[in-house]
Structure 1
Amino acid sequence: MESKGTRDGLFFMGFFLAASIVFAAWISTNTILQVKAQEKTIKVKGVAEKIVRADKGVWGATVRARGNDLKSAYATLNRDMNKVLVFLKESGIPEEWTGTSPVRTMTINVYDRQGRPTGDVAGYEMEQEVQVGSDKVEAIRDIAKKSSSLISQGVDLMARSPEYFCSDLTGVKNELIGQATRNARERAGQFASGSGLKVGQLNSAQQGVFQITPPDSVDVAGYGMYDTSTIEKKVRSVVTVEFTMAR
């Protein structure tokens, strides 16, 4: 038979054992909290921009012609395409800069008052593309401006806006990523200066999208931008960087 003293001893032993476990858990938790409190980090965005100049220009246009039959439509198109090619040559555009597409032919059908095809053919429309490309971007800009003079010669011309591209964007991007990362460290230092901390090691870095815009533009897009309308462009890089903060 178990005595009262034995029961009391077991009770107090269990009590102290439970208390020891709780105390140890508190010490462990408190230590973790203290360690985490000492692990201060800061996440900032760094920005870098650069003005670059396009080294490739492209301009294109569509020449269209109509005729009652295929022969007359093609004769008109051929005549007008020759006018375009002569215009380019006289404007100082070398032949090797120029390319043309195959001719596209479309049938012009006759429709009744209800908009239903009658099966009759009213004529044919033909069109052909001409494109000029060069690293002489000013020449591309100038020929695009002058192309409207072809309309006064009776050419059915649908001209497009010239486009300008940069061939070494990879090098520019790598340069700007480095500058943006340094800018992020400077910003982190400004935040830390008033709190008695200093910027430590880089924990992580995430590259954002590149924005390529006209020089004076403030437009941005979440998926990035590549504006081709200007010869000079502004390339903007943003990186998000996390640093360890130390005393």
Structure 2
Amino acid sequence: MSQDTKNTFNSERVKKIISTPYFIFGVLLLLGFIILGSFFKSSLNNISVLTNAQGITVSGTAERYVTSDKGSLSIVFRTDSLYVSDTQAIKNLSDIRDNITKYLINYGISSENIDILSFYTSSQCSLRDKDSWDNCLGKRYNDYNQTIKVSSDDVDQIKDLSLNLNSALNSEFGSTLNSANISVQNTQYFYTEFDNVKSEMLNEATKNAFERAEAIAKSTGNSAGAVITASQGVFQVTAKDSVDTSDYGYYDTSTIDKKITAVVRVSFKVK
């Protein structure tokens, strides 16, 4: 075979190989890897610049378990004039109020912590037209309602009142309550030192943020430096085993034992 024939044969063979789909796919795949590699290199360079320019930004938290040191509740009681005159109903309400107040003082609640609110009246009807609520088919009478607010630094005392007041009143006064409807509402527990521990907890949360930033920096052979920026998150006051949170802050008043969580967001220089 002559040299020209060999060259022609090889040229045609190369063209045949180049024109195959597998060859074209391989070339495109190789180009893709080259372009992707360049992109990642550029991205890594950008990340390095941002890290050096903006530092490391982390969140830090601090938790503290506390016990409420103040409690409060409302005692709501009512009577009506359905079977008695309005004058008698008002007297019954007054007797109920006096009995409850007497019990609270004997129980150990200071008179300064007993707040008796004004009573209010609402008009009622014993039987209404089912098709027209405003049409009274029975007797018109008045409801008389009143509220006593109680507070105490003894949270166990408030808890006991909230659970046992009704049975205690019935046991002590019995029929003299004139079949009053008495209920305990809005039992709440507070930690009054909350404002005083805020600064301490923010300091603890900032230290926690630095520890996290230092751990991240050390993993890259660096260390965390001075604070660039810092912002305070909201405080969460929850039941001790709760995971409740809110973007606007959370304050649980239903439990005696609480958990306070402070959050800060801090950016540190990298050195």
In the superposition, the TM-score normalised over structure 2's length comes to: 0.72
Give the 3-state SS of the residue equivalent to 1:39 in structure 2: helix
Q: How far, CA to CA, are the matches of 1:134 and 1:198 in structure 2?
A: 51
* Matched residue SS, 1:93: coil
Is residue 82 of structure 2 the alignment partner of residue 64 of structure 1?
no
How many residues are matched? 214
- Tell me if 1:115 matches 2:132: yes
Q: 1:202 Cα deviation (Å)?
A: 0.5
Partner Cα separation in structure 2 for residue 200 and residue 113 of structure 1? 75
Distance 1:194 1:162, change over 3 A: same
Structure whose CA Rg is larger: 2
Deviations 1:86-107 (A, max 9, x none): 2213322232221110010111
Q: Distance in 2 between matches of 1:119 and 1:216?
A: 51
- Distance in 1 of aligned mates of 2:194 and 2:260: 9
CA root-mean-square deviation: 2.3
**Residue equivalent to 1:8:** none
Structure 1 counterpart of 2:114, which letter?
T
Distance in 1 separating the partners of 2:218 and 2:133: 77
Q: What is the CA distance between 1:151 and its match in structure 2?
A: 5.5
Tell me if 1:101 matches 2:117.
yes
Q: For 2:242, what is the secondary structure of its paired residue?
A: coil
Partners of 2:54 and 2:266 in 1: CA distance: 14
**Post-superposition offset of 1:119:** 6.7
Counterpart of 1:229 (choices 243, 254, 259) is: 254
- Which of residues 46, 49, 57 is equivalent to 1:43? 57
- Among all aligned residue pairs of Structure 1 and Structure 2, give the percentage whose two residues are the same amino acid: 32
Q: Does 1:185 align with 2:218?
A: no
Structure 1 residue 131 and structure 2 residue 142: aligned? no
| Cα shift at 1:36 | 4.2
Question: Aligned with 2:55: secondary structure?
Answer: strand
Q: Tell whether 2:184 aligns with 1:159.
A: yes
Point out where structure 1 has 5 or more consecutive residues left out of the alignment.
Answer: 1-32
- For residues 187 and 205 of structure 1, the distance between their equivalents in structure 2, rounded to whole angstroms, comes to 14
Checking the alignment, whether the CA contact within 8 Å between 2:54 and 2:267 is kept in structure 1 is no
1:142-176 Cα distance to aligned partner (Å, 9 max, x none): 22222121356343112114211122222211111
Distance 2:266 2:170 in 1: 55
Structure 2: 5+ residue stretches without partners: 1-45
Find the partner of 1:140 among 158, 162, 180: 158
Amino acid at match of 1:172: V
The structure with the greater share of residues assigned to helix is 2
Task: Name the aligned partner's letter for residue 229 of structure 2.
Answer: S
Equivalent in the alignment of 2:224: 199
Q: Counterpart in 1 of 2:24?
A: none
- For residues 80-95 of structure 1, the aligned pairs below 5 Å read 80-95=96-111
CA contact (8 A) 1:144 1:161 kept: no
Change (3 A) 1:158 1:201: same
**CA offsets 1:25-56 (integer angstroms, 9 cap, x no match):** xxxxxxxx8x9464251110000001122222
CA distance in 1, matches of 2:73, 2:257: 17
Question: Which string of whole-angstrom CA distances, capped at 9 and with x for unpartnered residues, describes residues 77-127 of structure 1?
Answer: 122222212221332223222111001011114633422423786100000
Normalising by structure 1, we get a TM-score of 0.79
CA distance in 2, matches of 1:82, 1:155: 13
Give the equivalent residue in structure 1 for 2:3: none
> 1:173 and 2:187 equivalent?
no
Residue 21 of structure 1 corresponds to which residue in structure 2? none
Do 1:151 and 1:157's aligned partners in 2 also have CA atoms closer than 8 Å? no
Match of 2:93 in 1: 77
